[in-house]
Structure 1
Amino acid sequence: MAMRPVTNITVLECWKRIHFALWRVQKGVMNLNGNLWEDRFDDVVDQLQHGIDISYLNFTIVIYLNKEICQTFYLIFLLEICWAITSSELVSVIRSIMGLDTERVNYSAQYLVDFTRPHLRLREREGHYCYTCHVEEALKYVETHGIETQNIRPLQCKANVQEKSSSARLGYIGNVVKVRGLEAALEVVERHPVATSIPIFEPEYSLIGEKIYRGPTSRLSKYKSMHAGNITGGGVTDDGEKFIWFRSSHGKELGRFGYLKVSVEMMGCCLTRNEHDDFIEHPFPLVSQFVYPEMLSQAEEDGKRRRREEEFRAKKRQKI
């Protein structure tokens, strides 16, 4: 019998069968209980909404066929500024916790995009001007140069870079600390948030909701990228599995208002070689790359501000 084709479904991409192995490992004591630092942050931002034309976004359609259910999910390829949002938010929150800002000040993620790697900032890719970087590198830039506020430099992906403001009151930090190991990082989280990175596997990441994110648990699992965010708390499930609260930058619709519970007991490995980043072809945890900034004393910060003002005055005299 002749049949008419179904024309309301378009397959954009067929995924190859990539095999992942997962196993659970026991971790030490989890002293965190709850999303401790959530109230110190503003609402979770969506890094996709930073001033670009929506027509430039690419979409991948993932189709599940499960007997009577056919669900279609849209995965937006990530615009690569999670590192800048994570870094600027971490500086804002730790400065507030430590009392260096009497009122909460939002520092500028766009400042970090504009100046951390300016040679990449000038390279246009499909209508946007952002790029990948590491939180550690961004924080080291703040350590040396300070950071402007979001009011002065809002998050907008524009071709032209606004010059640094000579009159802006910058936020400063001290040394950038790279933490070795999860247990040490969780001890720091008892005092303030810590930046980290997790691997994004789809469809698990976008569909996580209130469940615990455990990485590639589906036959359709596909590795997309690493994603930087801040650890804001932790806890233990009823069956004893330990997890951290991870603040994303993919908007409030993801997880629980933009926060995910990520297992710290799952290890994974890609069994299909030469398909992904080299690191996932070796055993990897879901939570890694822990870093945070120490703070300066008020006297040290005032000294940095004076030196910056002197540098601007010297440059101004040279132009005359």
Structure 2
Amino acid sequence: MADFQLDPALPRDRYTVPTISEDFYDYMKSIEKTEPEIMSTLLPILRTKPDSGIQIVNTKFTNYATWRKDQIKRDVRTLDKQYSVLQYDEDHDTVWAVIAAKLFSVVRHRRDRIFTNYSAQYILDFAPLPPGKARRKHQRTCCKPRTVAAGLRYGLKNNLPREQDWKYAGCRDIRKPRGLSLYPMAGDVIQSKDLRIVSTALQKTPVAARLHIFEPDVDRVGNGIYRGPKYFDSKYEGQRDVLLYATEIVNGELVGVVNFPYKKLGELHVSLDVMLVQTPREDDIDEPNEELENPTYLLTNLCFLLQP
């Protein structure tokens, strides 16, 4: 397989390790017991069996190793465009509920009927806080960050109104429903970190995921492919909820198309082949980010509804 090349940017801050041979794997196994510190960093990478050279991206904050691992079925998937339309409040944490409501809407949709959106606002207003979290006085409905899976489980247990009957308002004071029709939600909540389920799931439903965010990379990618950190000033900003609704193959690279409700960027093309991990260096001040301590794809924590 041809060596994988990331977008060239600041070449002085990176180098490429040649594709790893079987002899090198055997050598690493032989020193596993004598050099535990080396192995703790390298072995998780080596276990992925990279399909390309490993590139080291040196930033002013820390280092990252990136490489290509083609483990996902290489299919092109395209869902109905209305399955990916989301409304959201950029200034507040509402995306988890918006995506959960959209997944319910997709599961209930029948091809011969008009598409009906179910209420994300109802989930925002009434889904409980995480266990052990107490609501502060005058806390508004959006001020309770949850997961898409939590929103799905709430809808399955309590049913939901249609969007037209309980309209999206974003962050607001709590209101009590009166004379509201609720519709039964159905499906099995599936959660996984294995991207191999994407191709199968995308035959019927979008897939919620958490995307590793590096800035300014997401700001500068434009119509290109987001592959994580590539600049000297790249900085990890944590994860954001996204909705994956299509896949493409671009020059042999599998790319996911996601609705990216962050900074009003809308659609984002994300590599589904790139893996990365944070690697230590002597001048590191902060502890490694827990989310990047082990090799990971850019999309993780997948969640979708399996149709009943």
What TM-score do the two structures reach when normalised by structure 2?
0.69
Equivalent position of 1:268 in the other structure: 276
One of 94, 113, 117 as aligned partner of 2:124: 113
User: Could you tell me how far apart the structure 2 residues matched to 1:85 and 1:151 are?
Assistant: 14
Does the CA-based 8 Å contact 2:161-2:182 persist in structure 1? Answer: yes
Equivalent position of 2:190 in the other structure: 177
User: Could you tell me how far apart the structure 2 residues matched to 1:38 and 1:222 are?
Assistant: 35
User: Could you tell me how far apart the structure 2 residues matched to 1:118 and 1:166 are?
Assistant: 25
Instruction: Look up the equivalent residue of 2:116 and give its one-letter code.
Output: V
Equivalent position of 2:39 in the other structure: none
Over the matched positions of the two proteins, sequence identity in percent amounts to 21
Query: Which residues of 2 match residues 129-208 of structure 1 at below 5 A?
Result: 129-179=142-192, 181-208=194-221
User: Could you tell me how far apart the structure 2 residues matched to 1:144 and 1:169 are?
Assistant: 12
- Cα distance change on mapping 1:217 and 1:113 into 2, 3 Å: same
User: Could you tell me how far apart the structure 1 residues matched to 2:160 and 2:262 are?
Assistant: 23
**1:267-317 deviation per Cα after TM superposition (whole angstroms, max 9, x unaligned):** 222334745641223322101111111344xxxxxxxxxxxxxxxxxxxxx
One of 61, 64, 68 as aligned partner of 1:18: 61
Equivalent position of 2:29 in the other structure: none
**1:189-237 deviation per Cα after TM superposition (whole angstroms, max 9, x unaligned):** 1222121111111111123211111112111112223111221111221
Equivalent position of 1:246 in the other structure: 258
Does the CA-based 8 Å contact 2:210-2:301 persist in structure 1? Answer: yes
Equivalent position of 1:228 in the other structure: 241
Does the CA-based 8 Å contact 1:19-1:219 persist in structure 2? Answer: no
Does the CA-based 8 Å contact 2:140-2:174 persist in structure 1? Answer: no
- Cα distance change on mapping 1:190 and 1:267 into 2, 3 Å: same
Aligned to 1:17, the other structure's residue is in SS state: coil
One of 252, 261, 284 as aligned partner of 2:296: 284
**1:25-67 deviation per Cα after TM superposition (whole angstroms, max 9, x unaligned):** 2314644325x1252336443432xxxxxxxxxxxxxxxxxxx
User: Could you tell me how far apart the structure 2 residues matched to 1:287 and 1:26 are?
Assistant: 13
Moved more, 160-169 or 204-213: 160-169
- Cα distance change on mapping 1:124 and 1:279 into 2, 3 Å: farther
Does the CA-based 8 Å contact 1:113-1:121 persist in structure 2? Answer: no
Equivalent position of 1:45 in the other structure: 87
Moved more, 274-283 or 132-141: 274-283
Does the CA-based 8 Å contact 1:37-1:233 persist in structure 2? Answer: yes
CA RMSD of aligned residues (A): 2.9
Moved more, 151-160 or 258-267: 151-160
One of 217, 228, 243 as aligned partner of 2:230: 217
- Cα distance change on mapping 1:231 and 1:121 into 2, 3 Å: farther
- Cα distance change on mapping 1:249 and 1:158 into 2, 3 Å: closer
Which sections of structure 1, spanning at least 5 residues, go unmatched?
1-15, 49-77, 297-320
Query: Which residues of 2 match residues 84-103 of structure 1 at below 5 A?
Result: 84-96=97-109, 98=110, 102-103=113-114
Instruction: Look up the equivalent residue of 1:290 and give its one-letter code.
Output: L
- Cα distance change on mapping 1:88 and 1:193 into 2, 3 Å: same
Shift, 1:121, TM fit: 9.3
**1:120-155 deviation per Cα after TM superposition (whole angstroms, max 9, x unaligned):** 695479988433211111111111111222222222
Number of corresponding residues: 244
- Cα distance change on mapping 1:128 and 1:94 into 2, 3 Å: closer
What TM-score do the two structures reach when normalised by structure 1?
0.67
**1:71-114 deviation per Cα after TM superposition (whole angstroms, max 9, x unaligned):** xxxxxxx5222211111112212322x45x93211122222222
Does the CA-based 8 Å contact 1:200-1:223 persist in structure 2? Answer: yes
User: Could you tell me how far apart the structure 1 residues matched to 2:67 and 2:224 are?
Assistant: 17
Aligned to 2:217, the other structure's residue is in SS state: coil
User: Could you tell me how far apart the structure 1 residues matched to 2:189 and 2:208 are?
Assistant: 11
User: Could you tell me how far apart the structure 2 residues matched to 1:26 and 1:141 are?
Assistant: 36
- Cα distance change on mapping 1:274 and 1:128 into 2, 3 Å: farther
- Cα distance change on mapping 1:191 and 1:184 into 2, 3 Å: same
Shift, 1:266, TM fit: 1.4
